[in-house]
Structure 1
Amino acid sequence: MKVIFAGTPEFAAVALRALVEAGFEIPLVLTQPDRPAGRGMQLQASAVKQYALSQGIEVLQPLSLRLDSKDTQRAVEALETHERLRATDYDVMVVAAYGLILPRTTLDIKPCINIHASLLPRWRGAAPIHRAIEAGDSDTGVTIMQMEEGLDTGPMLLIERLPIAPDDTTGSLHDKLAALGGEMIVTALRRIGEGSLEAVPQPAEGVTYAAKISKEEAKLDFDLPAVEIARKIRAFNPFPGAHALVNGVPVKIWGAQALEADSDALVGTVLAADAQHGIVVACRRGTLRLTELQKPGGKRLAAAEFLKGFPLEGLCFD
């Protein structure tokens, strides 16, 4: 089976690597254009492009796949990409976190299969891993589905569950789901080749949408229950990083534990800031022990180390 692969970040690169190592022929890879990254804002190739080039696989990076784009350059690139797809001998396109919408003109060329990091129909959309942790879901998983024009609405081919551990961050859960997705897409394609895989429509009930994460929502609001704030901190680790202001200084908070004990203090008040008790902050319900923090220009530090250079006693987060 010959596979065209479309994807961009590390989640997708893991799947591409699994396909290559399983012996599938990959004549072409689509990925997002190089983007500025890092402190120097130098152009950086996506994880998928880097791996594809290391394997000698041809890479295309169109700005869009929409033939009706009003932007002339995008429309031309879309047309050239479609011509290239039609000229390529392949059986199926596998898509994983590509970042571009596949229009009907693309979907109609050959079957397209998507690797989605949720238990569809829960968490359709851009940020399923973040949103599952933020919502307090007990489990998540990967769905392999046939693609159609709707947002993650296609029939399901394979679905597997994965528990969300109490200490999972988006970073740690991402890595687990990426590995699972790589295993599952290999299984799915092999079973498609055998004719032993049946597509099942998604349930009409339980549909939720995982909106793209914005940097603005990562600012913590201590006027929430401590358990909700702790989930947000895990959900926004490593991106965009939960943060709060203290004395006008933005402090990133990478780890925290929700405590049941309530406090009558003003929300955001630092109730304790020492080696014995750690950093404990008042919330609307319960309190929050901060375990890992980072000041501007500094390193991520455990609470005890952070306090050596940034005393918090008597201060208030806002």
Structure 2
Amino acid sequence: MKVIFAGTPEFAAVALQSLHEAGFEIPLVLTQPDRPAGRGMQLQPSAVKQYAVKHGIKVLQPLSLRTDSKDPQRAEEAKAAHQRLLSTPYDVMVVAAYGLILPRSTLDIKPCINIHGSLLPRWRGAAPIHRAIEAGDSETGITIMEMEEGLDTGPMLLIERIAIDDSDTTGSLHDKLAALGGKMIVEALGKMQHQQLEAVVQPEEGVNYAAKISKEEATLDFTQSAVEISRKIRAFNPFPGAHGSVNGTVIKLWGAEVLDGGSKSPAGTVLAADAQHGIVVACGTGSLRLTELQKPGGKRLPAAEFIKGFPLEGLSFA
């Protein structure tokens, strides 16, 4: 079975590796163009491209797949990519966090199936892992689905569930789902080869849109409940990093525990900042013990180490 793979970040690279190691022939990989990254803002290849190049798999990096783009360069690249797809023998396209819209012209060439990081239709869209944690979901999973022009609206082929632990961050849950997605796509293609996949239309109820995460969202509002703030801290770890400010200094918060009981102090007040109690902050409802923090230009530190260089007693988070 010949598989064209389309994906960009580490989540997708895990799936590509699974397919490659399972013995599927991969004549071509589509991934987004190299992007500036790091302190020097040097062009960096995607995780998918790095894996493909290392294993001698051909790579195509169009700016767009939409041949009707109003941008002449994008339209020309899309036309060239379309011709490349037409001239490359393959049986199915597997898509995982590609980041580009697949137009009808691409979807019509061969079957396209997607590895989606949620239990559809619970979270459609760009950030299903973040939004599941932020919303307090008790479980999530991977849905292998047929692709159509709608955003994550296609029929479901395989679903597998996993629990979201109270300690899970987007980083830890991402890694669990990436591994699960890699396992499931190999299983799905094996079943496809033997006509054993059954497509199930998504239910119309329970649809939510997992909007892309913005950096602005990471500014915490301590008038919210301790439970809500704790979820945001976990959801925005590792990106973009939840934060509050103390006397104008932005402090990133990487870990927190919800404490029983509340406080009559104004939301954001640092109730304790010592070795015995840790860093405890009043919230709109309840309070939080902050466990890992980071000041500008510094390292992520446990609370006990952080307050040695940045005393917080008597101060407040804005």
TM-score, normalised with respect to structure 2: 1.00
What SS class does the counterpart of residue 271 from structure 2 fall into?
strand
Alignment of 1:272-311 (within 5 A): 272-311=272-311
The residue type equivalent to 2:22 in the other structure is: A
The residue type equivalent to 1:203 in the other structure is: P
What SS class does the counterpart of residue 131 from structure 2 fall into?
helix
Question: C-alpha distance in 1, partners of 2:40/2:295?
Answer: 21
What SS class does the counterpart of residue 3 from structure 1 fall into?
strand
The residue type equivalent to 1:316 in the other structure is: S
- 1:71 alignment counterpart: 71
Shift of 1:259: 1.0
What SS class does the counterpart of residue 199 from structure 1 fall into?
coil
Question: C-alpha distance in 2, partners of 1:238/1:258?
Answer: 20
The residue type equivalent to 1:128 in the other structure is: P
- 1:241 alignment counterpart: 241
Deviations 1:147-193 (A, max 9, x none): 00000000000000010011000000000000000000000000000
What SS class does the counterpart of residue 168 from structure 1 fall into?
coil
Question: C-alpha distance in 2, partners of 1:117/1:239?
Answer: 17
- 1:59 alignment counterpart: 59
Question: C-alpha distance in 2, partners of 1:132/1:61?
Answer: 31
Question: C-alpha distance in 2, partners of 1:114/1:158?
Answer: 11
- 2:216 alignment counterpart: 216
- 1:172 alignment counterpart: 172
Question: C-alpha distance in 2, partners of 1:266/1:205?
Answer: 40
- 2:142 alignment counterpart: 142
Question: C-alpha distance in 1, partners of 2:217/2:173?
Answer: 20
Question: C-alpha distance in 1, partners of 2:258/2:126?
Answer: 28
Question: C-alpha distance in 2, partners of 1:204/1:192?
Answer: 26
Shift of 1:128: 0.1
- 2:182 is equivalent to residue 182 of structure 1: yes
- 1:255 alignment counterpart: 255
Shift of 1:204: 1.0
**Structure 1 vs Structure 2: percent identity of aligned residues?**
79
Question: C-alpha distance in 1, partners of 2:273/2:217?
Answer: 26
The residue type equivalent to 1:41 in the other structure is: M
Q: Which segments of 5 or more consecutive residues in structure 2 lack a partner in the other structure?
A: none
The residue type equivalent to 1:201 in the other structure is: V
The residue type equivalent to 1:63 in the other structure is: L
Deviations 1:240-261 (A, max 9, x none): 0001110100000000011121
- 1:111 alignment counterpart: 111
- 2:50 alignment counterpart: 50
Deviations 1:127-152 (A, max 9, x none): 00000000000000000000000000
The residue type equivalent to 1:182 in the other structure is: G
- 1:18 alignment counterpart: 18
The residue type equivalent to 2:159 in the other structure is: I
Question: C-alpha distance in 2, partners of 1:129/1:195?
Answer: 31
Moved over 6 A (4+): none
Give aligned pairs, total.
Answer: 318
The residue type equivalent to 2:143 in the other structure is: T
- 1:29 alignment counterpart: 29
Deviations 1:268-307 (A, max 9, x none): 0000000000000010100010000000000000000000
- 1:265 alignment counterpart: 265
The residue type equivalent to 2:62 in the other structure is: P
- 1:125 alignment counterpart: 125
What SS class does the counterpart of residue 261 from structure 1 fall into?
coil
- 1:4 alignment counterpart: 4
Q: Which segments of 5 or more consecutive residues in structure 1 lack a partner in the other structure?
A: none
Question: C-alpha distance in 2, partners of 1:36/1:309?
Answer: 33
The residue type equivalent to 1:220 in the other structure is: L
What SS class does the counterpart of residue 136 from structure 1 fall into?
coil
The residue type equivalent to 2:56 in the other structure is: G
